[in-house]
Structure 1
Amino acid sequence: MLSPGSWPCIILLYIYGTVATSLVTQSVPVIGDIAKYFELSHASAGWVISIPSLITAIAALFGGWLVDRIGDKRVIFGGSLFALVGNLVVVGAHDVTTLFVGRLLQGVGYLSLTVGAVTLIMRTTSGARRSIALGLWTSHTAVGIGLTLSIVAPLAQHGELWRWAFGGHAILMALLACAVILLPAKQANLQSRRLADIWFVLKSPRPYRVALASGASAFIQTGIMAALTVYLSRRYAIAIPAAAGIGTLAEVFVACGCLSVGHLLKAGVRGGRLAIVGGIVMLCGGVALYLPAVELVGAIVAVCVFSLGIGTVNGYIWTLVPSSSPSIGSMGATSGLVAQATYLGVLLGPPAIFASFYEGGWMVRVGLVVIAVVLQLAPILGWGRPESLDERQHGSAQALEPN
């Protein structure tokens, strides 16, 4: 068993998050083939991408409470099994109903893996390590999207080879289900949580501020990146693998922004200043990406600039989650509430961007970028330190307790 809060444990949890992210984006490079096979409209194709987020958007708060109730390790194991079964259902799907059932099962896995893993990170780390670990955790979305686009893209436009995007993922989930044995168990001294304890989180204002910011960030990030391959391929008449490669490059910049947050905070950079600079960078890149006069090279630069900015802002947002929790014992429910808003953004982002693919739709996309930047920054400016001294001391003591 890995030591709680150790870097090997954090890296393993990061892998769970990365593989979970691909549950959403594994269909992106082959969405054209899926849409053709099932005769789907553009809007329906967008929902195929987003449907795993539906369960999370609806039930993440309950999922977070379940983490508090039965422990992170059991929730992660259950999530691995749901994701495995969901992949297998999609592999064998020959009608739309079966396709969506499989994607919904994957959504349960997505919810369990992401909420369980991030809560375990927050409970077993403290201080500077927690900020760096959460910055690393935030980059799992970018890395998961980037790797998935690169790996799945060669399957595009090859008939029913799109099924291997889900079959390969099923193999990964089987391996990760076995790897759960390496994770630390639930702490024996933690008080059992009642379902009514969810109200303790719901009546606290601070989690809502973080949730709104994270939801807006997820909306615009997932929307732009999920539609990027199709957008670049159609607008600039480039091959799908090449367009997917640009998306992978952009996700590298997202990861850089996420990873820089913990180190910059540790170096003494004020969180508010970090958020403002990241928001301005994101705004400039997001607007430039959709301007009609921008050529391919300019679009590549713009999406990389956008990615760096949103990675920085999103990384900072998640460092605020522990200090927004009313108590250590309700940290799972708090992360669940934030995750619920986050995956509501993930759910709605791709359909919103895909729906704007008409003549003159660039103005709608630019407007969405501007609104998203405002909704990210407004709730968190003036927050102060990402982690209070009291919680840091509490977290340090907890991280040292045996599991």
Structure 2
Amino acid sequence: MNTSRQHTDWQAVFAVIAAGVIVSMQVGKLPPLLGQLRAEFGLDLVLGGLVASSISLIGGLCGIMAGFAGDRIGGRRALMSGLLINAAGSLAGAFAHDTAFLLAARLVEGLGFVITVVCGPSLVAMAAQPAQRSLALGLWSSYMPLGVTLGMLGALAVNHGLLDWRGLWLVLALLPFAAALLLPRLTARVPVAPLRKFNAAVLRRPGPWLLAGCFACYTTQWFCIVTWIPTYLKDSGLENETLLALGVAAVALVNAVGTTVSAAVMHRGTPRWLIIAVVSLSMGALGTASFAPDIPVLAKIGFAMAASGFGGMLPAAVLAGVPVQTRDPSEIATVNGVVVQLLNIGSFVGPPALAALVAHFGGWADGRWLLMVAGSIGLLLALGLRAAERRMATA
């Protein structure tokens, strides 16, 4: 079956991106409300970080499995399943009465999230003509910052008393449910990739693991920033809830600008590994600076925005590299499953690790160096990716 297209179905591409944005709102809704939830459920700093990042736990455990399932049942059906599961998790979370229930609901949200973001790129790739596939996948990479930003703005409505946090959870259960109903119609013209059995050779290639490792270092950094910068700014004396929410939303939103810049930079021929290497170190340095003591609050926000903006270049570079590591489009979900599994490990481990360092050493100034360590590891993995892609090109 020939799955190449003469024209890109942009309606389908943007429908899939919208699905990714919707499930990512579940990620962004919690950090601005973490203080409120910690007070209601009696959570300490470390347990609060665990709740915030627990949506990533399922992704860290099941990303590859979700990729296999997507290759077996098809991207469209897998994407619809992910949206419905995500909706069920948010609905259950609205009725949480203790920490265990809240965590369980968050894990269900995470399962729906990982299925959606693992299988989305394969549908995007099938909707795009080969010459525009990298562009379409680069646009897909904006799903996370856009979704996190919208989720944070939803939390702003809670802080202003327009609804309580349980009401926000209910609203964010309706959105993925509606998206699951609309998706078949909006993607009807996208051809179905041939269904394949699991090919273990995909996992024996170093390229997917190196790509995934680079992404994991990035998510360790980015989720540390977007999860804890609201708490840190409050600890630094920022009491204005509106300014706090808008500042944190701006930190998340500027990440989407980075994805656009990355697509333009790659189009000019800049090597993927070089983008990843520079971004990893820059984000480490700027993120570390955003948690520096004795600088003005606005400077902290500025450094966090700069770190997030530079960081946005990395997901686009990594996701555009996924097709390079595949033999045909039917392997995209599996390779993306590897990427999503490791990126979720980074986002799951990062916030609690930073919280543990802060709790152990007694201050944000000492824990912040985790961001620089993650950036340095990302640099080393980018150098390995350079060699792997050269071998792939000559194979």
TM-score norm. by structure 1 comes to 0.87
Amino acid at match of 1:154: A
Identity of aligned residues (%): 23
Q: Which residue of structure 2 lines up, in the alignment, with residue 21 of structure 1? A: 24
| Among 373, 376, 379, the residue aligned to 1:377 | 379
> CA-to-partner distance for each residue in 1:357-388, whole Å, 9 max, x for gaps?
443332221x2111111222222237469999
Residue 180 (1) aligns with residue 183 (2)? yes
Q: Output the CA distance in 2 between the equivalents of 1:188 and 1:175.
A: 22
Deviates more, 1:233-242 or 1:182-191: 182-191
What's the CA shift for 1:270? Answer: 3.2
> CA-to-partner distance for each residue in 1:17-57, whole Å, 9 max, x for gaps?
11111222212222222222222222222121111211111
Amino acid at match of 1:120: L
Question: 2:32 is paired with a residue of what secondary structure?
Answer: coil
Residue 11 (1) aligns with residue 14 (2)? yes
Q: Which runs of 5+ in 1 are unaligned?
A: 392-403
Question: 1:98 is paired with a residue of what secondary structure?
Answer: helix
Shift in CA distance, 44/160, structure 1 to aligned 2, threshold 3 Å? farther
Question: 1:294 is paired with a residue of what secondary structure?
Answer: coil
Q: Which residue of structure 2 lines up, in the alignment, with residue 401 of structure 1? A: none
> CA-to-partner distance for each residue in 1:158-180, whole Å, 9 max, x for gaps?
69811012011012112111112
Shift in CA distance, 204/99, structure 1 to aligned 2, threshold 3 Å? same
How do residues 274-289 of structure 1 correspond to structure 2 at under 5 angstroms? 274-289=275-290
Residue 90 (1) aligns with residue 93 (2)? yes
Question: 2:171 is paired with a residue of what secondary structure?
Answer: helix
Q: Which residue of structure 2 lines up, in the alignment, with residue 150 of structure 1? A: 153
Contact preservation (8 Å) 2:86, 2:173: yes
> CA-to-partner distance for each residue in 1:255-283, whole Å, 9 max, x for gaps?
11111112221123333443344334323
> CA-to-partner distance for each residue in 1:60-104, whole Å, 9 max, x for gaps?
101001110000111111111111111111112222332222112
Question: 2:270 is paired with a residue of what secondary structure?
Answer: coil
Residue 124 (1) aligns with residue 127 (2)? yes
Deviates more, 1:267-276 or 1:27-36: 267-276
Amino acid at match of 2:48: A
Amino acid at match of 1:121: V
Shift in CA distance, 112/338, structure 1 to aligned 2, threshold 3 Å? same
Q: Output the CA distance in 2 between the equivalents of 1:225 and 1:345.
A: 13
Shift in CA distance, 157/44, structure 1 to aligned 2, threshold 3 Å? farther
Q: Which runs of 5+ in 2 are unaligned?
A: 1-5
Q: Which residue of structure 2 lines up, in the alignment, with residue 136 of structure 1? A: 139
Contact preservation (8 Å) 1:17, 1:140: yes
What's the CA shift for 1:137? Answer: 1.8
Q: Output the CA distance in 2 between the equivalents of 1:160 and 1:93.
A: 16
What's the CA shift for 1:336? Answer: 0.4
Amino acid at match of 1:150: L
| Among 46, 50, 53, the residue aligned to 2:53 | 50
Question: 1:380 is paired with a residue of what secondary structure?
Answer: helix
> CA-to-partner distance for each residue in 1:120-172, whole Å, 9 max, x for gaps?
12343355522222222222211111121122123138698110120110121
Shift in CA distance, 136/320, structure 1 to aligned 2, threshold 3 Å? same
Contact preservation (8 Å) 2:138, 2:317: yes
Q: Output the CA distance in 2 between the equivalents of 1:207 and 1:184.
A: 30
Question: 1:155 is paired with a residue of what secondary structure?
Answer: helix
Amino acid at match of 2:337: G
Q: Which residue of structure 1 lines up, in the alignment, with residue 196 of structure 2? A: 192
Amino acid at match of 1:220: Q
Amino acid at match of 1:227: W
Q: Output the CA distance in 2 between the equivalents of 1:305 and 1:276.
A: 16
Amino acid at match of 2:79: I
Aligned length: 385
Shift in CA distance, 379/124, structure 1 to aligned 2, threshold 3 Å? farther
Q: Which residue of structure 1 lines up, in the alignment, with residue 3 of structure 2? A: none
Contact preservation (8 Å) 1:319, 1:386: no
Question: 2:382 is paired with a residue of what secondary structure?
Answer: coil
Q: Output the CA distance in 1 between the equivalents of 2:192 and 2:243.
A: 51
How do residues 230-249 of structure 1 correspond to structure 2 at under 5 angstroms? 230-249=231-250
Q: Output the CA distance in 2 between the equivalents of 1:226 and 1:98.
A: 21
Contact preservation (8 Å) 1:72, 1:186: no
Q: Which residue of structure 2 lines up, in the alignment, with residue 103 of structure 1? A: 106
TM-score norm. by structure 2 comes to 0.89
Q: Output the CA distance in 1 between the equivalents of 2:331 and 2:277.
A: 30
Amino acid at match of 2:64: L
Residue 255 (1) aligns with residue 256 (2)? yes
> CA-to-partner distance for each residue in 1:230-260, whole Å, 9 max, x for gaps?
1112213323332221111122321111111
How do residues 385-400 of structure 1 correspond to structure 2 at under 5 angstroms? none
Q: Output the CA distance in 2 between the equivalents of 1:286 and 1:314.
A: 17
Q: Which residue of structure 1 lines up, in the alignment, with residue 205 of structure 2? A: 204
What's the CA shift for 1:294? Answer: 1.7
Amino acid at match of 1:50: S
Contact preservation (8 Å) 1:83, 1:173: yes
> CA-to-partner distance for each residue in 1:290-340, whole Å, 9 max, x for gaps?
221321121122112111211112321222111123543322111101100
Contact preservation (8 Å) 2:282, 2:307: yes
Q: Output the CA distance in 1 between the equivalents of 2:33 and 2:386.
A: 44
Contact preservation (8 Å) 2:29, 2:151: yes
Deviates more, 1:156-165 or 1:277-286: 156-165
Q: Which residue of structure 2 lines up, in the alignment, with residue 340 of structure 1? A: 341
Question: 1:236 is paired with a residue of what secondary structure?
Answer: coil
Shift in CA distance, 354/104, structure 1 to aligned 2, threshold 3 Å? same
Deviates more, 1:379-388 or 1:202-211: 379-388
Deviates more, 1:258-267 or 1:213-222: 258-267
Shift in CA distance, 4/72, structure 1 to aligned 2, threshold 3 Å? farther
Amino acid at match of 1:376: G
